[in-house]
Amino acid sequence: MSTSPLSFELIGTDGTARRGRVTTPHGSFETPAFMPVGTRATVKGLMPRDLEETGSQICLANTYHLHVAPGDKVIKKLGKLHTVMGWNKPILTDSGGFQVFSLPKQQLDEEGVTFSFEKDGKRVKLTPERAMIIQNNLGADIIMAFDVCVPFPCDYAPAREAVYRTERWLKRCKAAHDEAQGDQPTQALFGIVQGSTYPDLRALSAQLTRDIDLPGYAIGGVSVGEGHGLMMDVIESTEPYLPKDKPRYLMGVGYPEDLIEAVARGIDMFDCVLPSRYGRSGVLFTRRGRIRITKGKYRADRFPVDPQCSCYGCQNFSRGYINHLINSSEILGSTLGTLHNITFYQDLMRAARSAIEQGTFESFRRAFLDEYLSEDRKDELNLHFTDTRQDHDELSWDTEHSVIPSAKPVKHVDMPEPKPQAPQTTEKPKKDAPRAKSGGAHANKGNAPRARQGGKSQSGKPQGGRPQGSKGGRGKPRGKGPSKKK
């Protein structure tokens, strides 16, 4: 009888929301947790020390892409993922199923999926056993079973067949994984629930998957175009059938509102390319909504992206400078955008964990969504909170950053230069003292007067309040929106 390399501690609950801790051979991470996606063993634009500074405690790598290049066997020879990436914290790898089923001309049968590599057109076959071998070579702490991911929309019959085939493939994955790992496993295998948007199929798949004893379970086949409402319906159809003492992972999700609403429904883990992909294109998340930093109105804006953010970019640079960097295609712009967005997501998860611990998650959820979402988005999601006006200043959002607790938000304001005062003496005053040279947006940080959020400075301009242009800034990247995993 082998021992599990992963343990889950349920620290507390608030309603259905859960506060927990997952422990792996490479350390623990707190839940609810967001996992940044390092598709090719790197989060684009960030060094591992940058990723750690965001407060990230676990990241994700993609099995399919690493199998294509440099190859899972090469990764194994180089010391496996933790050594290659210079990341001594937990790592999760997906099975590659989502990417494979997204490829053209793929052929599905009971044995596996036959497809052509995008790079050279070579025809290969990926089976449950092969998916386990590749992930064993990569060496992540958590690995995912090879499942059948159906598109949206999907007819009932093929969705039902995918549920049963996913179960059969999970049994094959577990057998191959157990044989490779032996009595002292170092990797934890998670099963995946499928069933499209059909509540009965989701319940069936959850029960079939739960009957196979595993360290954790995931909800797959979402964020494929079904929209927020159907996604939440899927979670509500699945969650009651998942074990309470095992972590639950919602794959490929998503927007901040998706995360908070999923946490409210009992989900523990999330991943998505969204914050990094958006960050590189200049779409940045703030507590009051998304902004497109490349717009002309931010060209001379001296505020940080988000006055409440403790990331390196918000502590040191203005929106105007980041506007310049990204519009000039400077690498630093992409780095700062990615760093900020992932920090935003980690701050959101930290605030959610704190609210669950304090028993105030529902109040936090309502206040965050009320402040973050535009009125149009609230209408779209049917989320309105007119019965109780939340005090946004009391949000458990300004909790100290877990990595840089001493950081304080920078207030970028246009302060008038002080007028020289005559020296207090009976002698005839000399010439006026020379005007102090301006040090730019970051001069005299420690001496700038502080005002309550939403208040005004002596110049009458906003200080530390609603960043200009944030509310309702629902801009999306040019062209089609980013496709999301799973």
Confidence (pLDDT) at 416: 42
Return the higher-pLDDT residue of 32 and 389: 32
Q: First CA to last CA across the chain, in angstroms? A: 33
In angstroms, the CA 462 to CA 187 distance is 52
pLDDT tens digits, 43-64 = 999 999 999 999 999 999 999 9
Poorest-pLDDT segment among 86-95, 140-149, 227-236, 392-401: 392-401
Q: Which two structure tokens, joined as six digits, stand for 380?
A: 């779209």
Phi, psi of 304 (to 5 degrees): -70, 170
Cis peptide preceding 70, ω within 30 of 0: yes
**Mean pLDDT highest for which of 104-118, 217-231, 371-385?**
217-231
Q: Is position 391 annotated as part of the catalytic site?
A: no
**What confidence category does residue 382 fall into, taking pLDDT thresholds of 50, 70 and 90?**
confident
Mean pLDDT of the chain: 85
* pLDDT, mean of residues 359-373: 95
Return the higher-pLDDT residue of 20 and 399: 20
Confidence (pLDDT) at 391: 53
- Please tell me which residue in 14, 94, 258, 347 is annotated as part of the active site: 94
- Please tell me which residue in 72, 141, 271, 301 is annotated as part of the active site: 271
Q: Is position 271 annotated as part of the catalytic site?
A: yes
* pLDDT, mean of residues 262-272: 98
Q: Which two structure tokens, joined as six digits, stand for 47?
A: 């060094």
pLDDT tens digits, 277-302 = 999 999 999 999 999 999 999 999 99
Residue that the structure tokens 């085939």 belong to: 165
pLDDT tens digits, 217-230 = 999 999 999 999 99
Return the higher-pLDDT residue of 304 and 470: 304
Contacts of 463 (CB under 8 A, 6+ apart): 411, 413, 449, 450, 451, 455, 456, 457
Which domains are delineated in the chain? 7-31+62-272 (3.20.20.105), 285-416+461-486 (no CATH)
Does the structure show a pLDDT above 70 at 457?
no
Strand-pairing partners, residue 361, are none
Does the structure show a pLDDT above 90 at 187?
yes
* pLDDT, mean of residues 162-169: 98
* pLDDT, mean of residues 327-344: 98
The 3-state secondary structure of the chain reads CCCCCCEEEEEEEECCEEEEEEEECCEEEEECEEEEEECCCCCCCCCHHHHHHCCCCCEEECHHHHHHCCCHHHHHHCCHHHHHHCCCCCEEECCCHHHHHHCCCCEECCCCEEEECCCCCCEEEECHHHHHHHHHHHCCCEEECCCCCCCCCCCHHHHHHHHHHHHHHHHHHHHHHHHHHCCCCCCEEEEEECCCCCHHHHHHHHHHHHCCCCCEEEECCCCCCCHHHHHHHHHHHHHHHCCCCCCEEECCCCCHHHHHHHHCCCCCEEEECHHHHHHHHCEEEECCEEEECCCHHHCCCCCCCCCCCCCHHHHHCCHHHHHHHHHCCCHHHHHHHHHHHHHHHHHHHHHHHHHHHHCCHHHHHHHHHHHHCCHHHHHHHCCCCCCCCCCHHHCCCCCCCCCCCCCCCCCCCCCCCCCCCCCCCCCCCCCCCCCCCCCHHHCCCCCCCCCCCCCECCCCCECCCCCCCCCCCCCCCCCCCCCCCC
Return the higher-pLDDT residue of 166 and 417: 166
